[in-house]
Structure 1
Amino acid sequence: MSDPSIYTYPSPLEGYQNLPPLSDEKNADGKSYVNPPAEKLSPAYDSFTSPITNDERGGFDVHIYFQQNIDTEVKFATELWERIRREFPELRVYRIWDKPIGPHPIAMFEVNLFTPAQFGAFVPWLVINRGPLSALVHPNTGDDIRDHTQRATWLGQPFPLQVGLLRRLLEKQAEAA
């Protein structure tokens, strides 16, 4: 994981400064707080928050990993890949890699999510249906190293990514440009 102290972070309250204090009133459950009504839903329901891309690349990548030397994981990953393609045909699903590729240390396949609605449907579905497999969920902001490390979320056991390999690939792309 990348050291989070090397990045800067805007205040989470940006755009919400100088508002009246929040109430300490609790909901009927006695635990959660009553929130002030909003004039409209957050725009995050309709498009990914900047700087996440809302274009043909997709806002999020989901890399689903399996150990290529464990037959039960290979079989499960293949069946999961097929199920995803059938149940979520609107998503972009890539081939199954039976060996490490790029910064990914073991076999995997990738799924791209293009809208908050797709993210909201697919990620909870994957939490329940991923079985013994792990998944890396990361945004696409144009900062690939940060996206794969500091901004990434893991479902299941994380695997150490080959970030140095990703860094070298990005340097080669920059040189070629």
Structure 2
Amino acid sequence: MKRQKTDLKRILPSPPPPIISYHLHITYTLFNPSGVKEALELRQRTREQFQNYLGPDCPGRYDYGYLCMIVDHDIENTTLIGGPFVSGEWSIFLPLGYYAVVTPWLLQNRGNLSMLLHPNSGIWAMWAGEPWPLDMSIFEKETQTNEFGHYPGDPDNPVCLLKGAVCGDDKLSPFALCCYELACKAAEMISNGASSFTVHRCA
């Protein structure tokens, strides 16, 4: 049998859409109490790990301009209304400047859970762990999402961190990407019970 060669030029738009932000999803089985418990515990640990980086929770999925936990459905009992997930999931809106801080940590700490990372461009999704089925019938070919019309570096989709943004601390490495002519510098000491750590900001 002859193997058919895939012509990527026919599949991908030309030029490809820019990557302006990411979604990071943790997926799990809703009818498995231990799986739900593990997912909720990871979500809480993620909140604690990035408490100095996170902005307010996002009620939707796009164009927030800051790192945030997405809160748009009951993550303990229901799938995301409208799909495409047929499993339980919780997610994070991930601006480009925080990609290098959040993604490695969740890859290393996801345990038995699966993780889907995708740019908000409609293509180039990646799984860590077992991939889950997705209901792709909700999408229409060549129909644009609300991310289209935005661009890397607009106010809702920064590519780097502006002056004063948290770019690192004693616990996390690598540091996030500060904008041109800014550096990630020690800014303030945070007390954490018996110990303390230093928060770094772009300055």
Q: TM-score, normalised by structure 2?
A: 0.51
| Distance in 1 between residues matched to 2:112 and 2:12, nearest whole Å | 35
Q: Deviations over 1:64-106 (max 9, x none)?
A: 1011111111111111111111211323112352322210110
| Secondary structure in structure 1 of the residue aligned to 2:139 | helix
Instruction: Specify the alignment match of 1:111 in structure 2.
Output: 92
Instruction: Specify the alignment match of 1:19 in structure 2.
Output: none
Unaligned 5+ segments in structure 1 are: 12-48, 54-58
Q: Among 4, 14, 19, which residue is 1:52 paired with?
A: 19
Q: 1:50 to 1:88 in 2, by over 3 A?
A: farther
1:93 pairs with 2:69: yes
Q: 1:4 to 1:64 in 2, by over 3 A?
A: farther
Instruction: Specify the alignment match of 2:119 in structure 1.
Output: 139
| Secondary structure in structure 2 of the residue aligned to 1:167 | coil
Q: Deviations over 1:128-160 (max 9, x none)?
A: 11011101100012xx3xx3xxx0000100012
Which protein has the bigger strand share?
A: 2
Q: Among 116, 125, 138, which residue is 1:152 paired with?
A: 125
Unaligned 5+ segments in structure 2 are: 1-5, 55-66, 147-203
RMSD (CA atoms) = 2.9
Which protein has the bigger helix share?
A: 1
Residue 166 of structure 1 and its aligned partner are, at CA, apart by 3.0
Alignment length (residue pairs):
119
Q: TM-score, normalised by structure 1?
A: 0.58
| Distance in 1 between residues matched to 2:17 and 2:87, nearest whole Å | 31
Q: 1:69 to 1:60 in 2, by over 3 A?
A: same
| Distance in 2 between residues matched to 1:8 and 1:75, nearest whole Å | 39
1:81 pairs with 2:57: no
